[in-house]
Amino acid sequence: MVPLILLALVAVALVATVAAVAGGRLEVDPLADPVTSTPDHGLPLDPHAADVDAVRFDTAPRGYRMDEVDARLEALRDDLAERERTLDSLRDTT
């Protein structure tokens, strides 16, 4: 008898919750705004190759694929390092 009453109470609570959500009385926000949990570890205005290794991103559900972000950052770092070497060699020849 007790399990039947408990089951009925759970069913009534479930129906009431669904009705409240459907009627707009209970707000559900499945995609809340992202929250930043780390200080800004972005690139400075004048980035150097060594600065790229310090870049950090917040994690989030449905966020970026970490392997793709890492690959882009590595390419950026390598490109900046090559530019820095080119500038240094040009400065040395003058």
In tens, the pLDDT along 32-78 reads 666 666 666 677 778 888 888 887 777 666 777 778 888 888 888 99
Tally the domains of the chain. Answer: 2
Is 34 a member of any domain? no
- The set of long-range contacts for 47-56, using a CB threshold of 8 Å and a minimum separation of 24, is 47/80, 48/80, 48/84, 49/77, 49/78, 49/80, 49/81, 49/84, 52/76, 52/77, 52/80, 53/77
pTM to 2 decimals? 0.49
Judge if 25 and 48 occupy the same domain: no
Residue 46 lies in domain? 39-94
Judge if 48 and 91 occupy the same domain: yes
* Tens of pLDDT, residues 11-44: 999 999 888 888 878 777 666 666 666 666 677 7
Is 12 a member of any domain? yes
What local confidence, expressed as pLDDT, does residue 30 receive? 67
Is 85 a member of any domain? yes
